[in-house]
């Protein structure tokens, strides 16, 4: 076994063990202590008369599993975007997916077209917006000749959607504005136990599609022209990468709101830790690293809850922004 593979297996094992340990620790955190037996029963042998098991089932397990799924999905999406655009500062929302979600949520909660009043309605609006933005970019990718132009279209779409959101906010009722702002902060609390299956299946589908793209992703690192000479249909692969990113980032944004910096920071850190460009290794590392980061953020929020209620987006920005500045100084 060569050095790269040995480093991959050992690092992945450490990250996985650390993630499992922190997940269990996170499940014990809250307003009152819960033992491991209650955690096990709350997940697998639920008793509705037990307060501890009810708490695990309804609140803690969905929150922690959402953290794992959201972190892994956003990190994989970020890796795909960084490879597609050959830019370490590309993230999963660079194509305007979060902007599409924000626009539909803003329309549904703050305008006279108030259709989606419930929490599930907000999720539906966010998902429609995310996938609508994804389909728009997919449509553009058919006609756009190069990835730089596609990146600019994504940025312009995001700016346009952001401007519309600002206009809606200016005329919104304060109560409706509060609903939108709470969604925009990002949260792990919005997913119920019976919704975990849907979230898991969609994330698994996006991750599986990413795995199927490992060989083209490795070749794209050589440049579009070299990849094309090696038999890769660059336009088709670009299309599939956008599909996978839209699925992964879209479903997380729908259920959790926009979560910043995770998909930007983690792929860069994993590349430095794993010291490889093989996407078979980077995908696994990004999945574990992203899940680990969001779980750590959730633990931090739970520990600080008696003193301060930190929004998830604020915490990921506090962690991610200094790392991004360091990446810029190191690579540019």
Task: Looking at the chain, list the stretches that DSSP marks H as alpha helix, in order from N- to C-terminal side.
Answer: 3-28, 36-44, 51-55, 61-85, 97-110, 119-143, 147-170, 174-184, 196-212, 214-220, 224-229, 234-256, 262-274, 279-304, 312-331
- What per-residue confidence (pLDDT) applies to 112? 57
- What per-residue confidence (pLDDT) applies to 332? 59
Per-residue confidence at 325, pLDDT binned at 50, 70, 90? confident
Q: What is the mean pLDDT of residues 115-122?
A: 63
pLDDT over 90 (residue 173) = no
- What per-residue confidence (pLDDT) applies to 125? 82
At the second CATH level, the architecture of 3-331 is Orthogonal Bundle (1.10)
pLDDT over 90 (residue 280) = yes
Per-residue confidence at 139, pLDDT binned at 50, 70, 90? confident
Q: What is the mean pLDDT of residues 4-11?
A: 83
pLDDT over 90 (residue 290) = yes
Identify which has the larger pLDDT, 60 or 175.
Answer: 60
Query: For the ranges 74-78, 112-116, 189-193, 305-309, which has the lowest average pLDDT?
Result: 112-116
Q: Helix %, strand %, coil % for the chain, to 5?
A: 80, 0, 20
Asked whether the beta carbons of 82 and 215 are under 8 A apart, the reply is no
Q: What is the mean pLDDT of residues 240-251?
A: 91
Query: For the ranges 116-125, 148-157, 183-192, which has the lowest average pLDDT?
Result: 116-125
Per-residue confidence at 77, pLDDT binned at 50, 70, 90? very high
- What per-residue confidence (pLDDT) applies to 117? 53
- What per-residue confidence (pLDDT) applies to 203? 95
Per-residue confidence at 116, pLDDT binned at 50, 70, 90? low
Distances in whole angstroms, Cα of residue 261 to Cα of each of 71, 86, 92, 272: 10, 18, 9, 17
- What per-residue confidence (pLDDT) applies to 68? 97
Distances in whole angstroms, Cα of residue 90 to Cα of each of 86, 156, 194, 309, 316: 8, 15, 33, 30, 16
- What per-residue confidence (pLDDT) applies to 61? 93
- What per-residue confidence (pLDDT) applies to 265? 92
Q: What is the mean pLDDT of residues 104-132?
A: 75
Identify which has the larger pLDDT, 63 or 184.
Answer: 63
pTM value > 0.85: yes
Cα separation, 298 vs 265, in Å, equals 17
Per-residue confidence at 114, pLDDT binned at 50, 70, 90? low
Q: Compute the mean pLDDT over every residue in the chain, rounded to the nearest whole number.
A: 87
């Amino acid at each position: 076994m060569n050095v790269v593979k040995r480093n991959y297996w050992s690092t992945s094992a450490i990250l996985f063990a650390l993630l499992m340990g922190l997940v269990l620790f996170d499940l014990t955190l809250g307003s009152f202590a819960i033992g491991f037996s209650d955690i096990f029963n709350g997940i697998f042998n639920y008793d509705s008369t037990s307060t501890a098991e009810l708490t695990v089932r309804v609140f803690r397990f969905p929150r922690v599993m959402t953290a794992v799924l959201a972190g892994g999905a956003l990190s994989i999406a970020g890796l795909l975007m960084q490879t597609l655009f050959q830019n370490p500062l590309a993230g999963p929302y660079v194509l305007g997916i979060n902007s599409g979600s924000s626009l539909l949520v803003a329309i549904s909660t703050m305008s006279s077209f108030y259709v989606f009043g419930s929490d599930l309605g907000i999720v539906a609006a966010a998902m429609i917006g995310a996938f609508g933005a994804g389909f728009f970019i997919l449509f553009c990718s058919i006609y756009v000749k190069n990835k730089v132009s596609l990146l600019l279209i994504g940025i312009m779409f995001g700016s346009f959607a952001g401007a519309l959101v600002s206009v809606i906010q200016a005329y919104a009722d304060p109560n409706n504005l509060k609903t939108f702002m709470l969604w925009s902060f990002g949260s792990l609390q919005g997913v119920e136990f019976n919704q975990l299956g849907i979230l898991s299946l969609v994330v698994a589908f996006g991750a599986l599609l990413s795995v199927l793209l490992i060989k083209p992703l490795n070749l794209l690192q050589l440049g579009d022209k070299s990849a094309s000479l090696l038999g890769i249909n660059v336009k088709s692969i670009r299309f599939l990468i956008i599909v996978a990113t839209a699925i992964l980032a879209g479903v997380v944004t729908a259920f959790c709101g926009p979560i910043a910096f995770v998909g930007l920071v983690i792929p860069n850190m994993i590349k430095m830790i794993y010291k490889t460009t093989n996407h078979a290794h980077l995908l696994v590392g990004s999945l574990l690293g992203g899940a680990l980061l969001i779980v750590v953020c959730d633990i931090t929020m739970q520990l600080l809850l008696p003193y301060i209620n930190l929004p998830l987006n604020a915490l990921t920005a506090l962690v991610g922004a200094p790392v991004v500045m360091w990446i810029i100084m190191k690579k540019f």
